[in-house]
Structure 1
């Protein structure tokens, strides 16, 4: 799961580097379609089946996951990498709420504290980008909800090989992102845009997305979804390093406070879940 977090952060860096070259809908389609081609080749090589009459949990995972991709690439195109990654990693909070709803349980106090801290964190993050990025902040929060729903259904597909799951997801995502991309099709056909660095960036998006998706799928199918969501928060740390090393970026006090308010309480409450589960198992 840690390797998946690194690859997703690297995919975000590739996406952020192309935001001045391509509309976010094009990079979103590139991520889905190139990902699908890589996974299709892997499925053929390993002789894993491609399924179309999939169980409902896999369809939910693929459709909602496709909406999550669209939101993700919009956020990466309109916010700096570290802030965008922080918002898209509100997944554990949404996951806890979904599990509480499905199990008809009350929401733990630790989750409520994390929600309040997350709201404060979102407020601080949006301050430096209030004029141009306020809507992107909302989209980032919605993306985390879509991702949590997708991950919850992914955990229910344990009987299906990860390659088959990812092939189904990326195939559905390719269709959905292509339809959304249609208004930007003339931009996609502009051959002058395709310099070697741009081509490398597009392939990088697809390749890192493929590796990250396969690693994440296997981790969520084998492990506890809430625990894996916490490990995924390492993606925020990787994204922050990329921001500093690649874009030579400095962070305001508000931005640092916002990132910490989102990530630290979330990590804390899921760590408590892990400790409690281990104590019960003894």
Structure 2
């Protein structure tokens, strides 16, 4: 499989859009989970996301078929993404963890991406990777530490979801390289990848939601659709981002979502983060910014030289 060319600026902009939409989704999901079970919220997120991916594909006349050679990659992305969705919505629906804490723990995903990319993608690690990793997990300790007695299991689930999300992002980058193939064989577009993941996640979440399903009221239904629409659009934007640039660099822009989620948590939920939460979120975000700067410097330093990346 040939390596794809990168477009760092476009990749970063698409990821910034995805991070903003995911922040909106997080708040809508927390509000919706106060009215219906969390698995039902996750089901709507996946089902509406599938509908959005299908609608975009029909409008753009984009191919939805995933070639046999790409199906293992698509299934790897879908299964890891489904595990990440399970962990994310379970913790978003748990009032024991503040929204900002859930998002901060989930924001360790780009750190996992940066750690795993050199071995799994052949992408050169950024300078200062291990220092940034240490700073990030010190931030995690500050966030999770005060929660251990009452919600330690939820903190663990949120972090496990971040690892699963990182693996999904790595599969996306592999698929992104595949999207840039040339020749007569059509390559899977972001709509095809997002639709495949959304359908797999829909089946899994629907099965989980059946035992406790509740008919939502009007406000609950509105929040469910807001969760699905924002999450579905974010999924398409993120898939496009990972098709355009290196996983480690694109992933770090996700830290924008940490800041936005904290701000929206204060505005929409009335959450007041304590000093440990703010310090932890700051450290995790600073680690991500440091990795981004290092990755961009590496890219500029290697401009004009043959790429050593391999999908």
TM over 0.5, shorter chain: yes
Match status 1:31 vs 2:59: no
Verify the 8 A CA contact 1:122 1:137 in the aligned structure 2: no
Of 189, 192, 197, which aligns to 1:169? 197
Deviates more, 1:203-212 or 1:77-86: 77-86
Alpha carbons of structure 1 residues 246 and 226: separation in structure 2 relative to 1, 3 Å: same
Structure 1 segments unaligned to the other structure (5+ residues) = none
- CA gap of 1:179–1:112, structure 2 versus 1, over 3 A, is same
From 65, 79, 91, the equivalent of 1:75 is 91
Residue in 1 that maps onto 2:298: 276
1:245 paired residue number = 267
Separation (CA, whole Å) in 2 of partners of 1:132 and 1:278: 46
Whole-angstrom CA distance in 2 between matches of 1:252 and 1:65: 31
Match of 1:122 in 2: 140
1:214–1:65 distance in 2 versus 1, CA, 3 Å = same
Change (3 A) 1:195 1:179: closer
CA RMSD, 1 decimal = 2.1
Distance 1:250 1:103 in 2: 40
Asked if structure 2 preserves the Cα contact closer than 8 Å seen for 1:61 and 1:154, the reply is yes
CA distance in 2, matches of 1:44, 1:265: 40
Q: What residue number does 2:209 align with?
A: 181
Whether the aligned pair in 2 keeps the contact of 1:51 and 1:168 (CA below 8 Å) is no
Aligned residue in 2 for 1:146: 164
| Pair 1:56 & 2:72 matched | yes
Q: Is the 8 A contact 2:249 2:291 kept in 1?
A: no
Seen in structure 2, the aligned counterparts of structure 1 residues 269 and 55 have a Cα distance that, compared at 3 Å, is same
1:95 aligns with 2:109: no
Structure 1 partner of 2:287 = 265
Give the Å deviation of 1:269: 2.5
Q: Which moved more, 1:152-161 or 1:41-50?
A: 41-50
In the alignment of these two chains, the number of paired residues is 276
Q: Residue deviations 1:61-95, cap 9 Å, x none?
A: 11111111111111212221111111111122111
- Tell me how far apart the structure 1 counterparts of residues 144 and 78 of structure 2 sit (CA, whole Å): 30
- Write the mapping of 1:5-44 to structure 2, written as runs, cut at 5 A: 5-44=19-58
Of stretches 12-21 and 174-183 in structure 1, the one that deviates more from structure 2 is 174-183
Structure 1 position 234, deviation (Å) = 0.1
**TM-score, scaled to structure 2:** 0.82
Q: Distance in 2 between matches of 1:112 and 1:251?
A: 28
Q: After superposition, give the CA deviation of every residue in 1:191-221 in whole Å (9 maximum; x if it has no partner).
A: 3xx2221111000011001110111111110
**Greater helix content:** 1
Q: Given the alignment of the two structures, is residue 201 of structure 1 paired with residue 217 of structure 2, yes or no? A: no
Runs of 4 or more consecutive aligned structure 1 residues displaced over 3 Å after TM superposition = 103-109
SS of the counterpart of 1:73? Answer: helix
CA, structure 1 residues 108+235, in 2 after alignment: closer, same or farther (shift >3 Å)? Answer: closer
- Quote the offset at 1:104 in angstroms: 7.6
Q: Distance in 2 between matches of 1:268 and 1:215?
A: 23
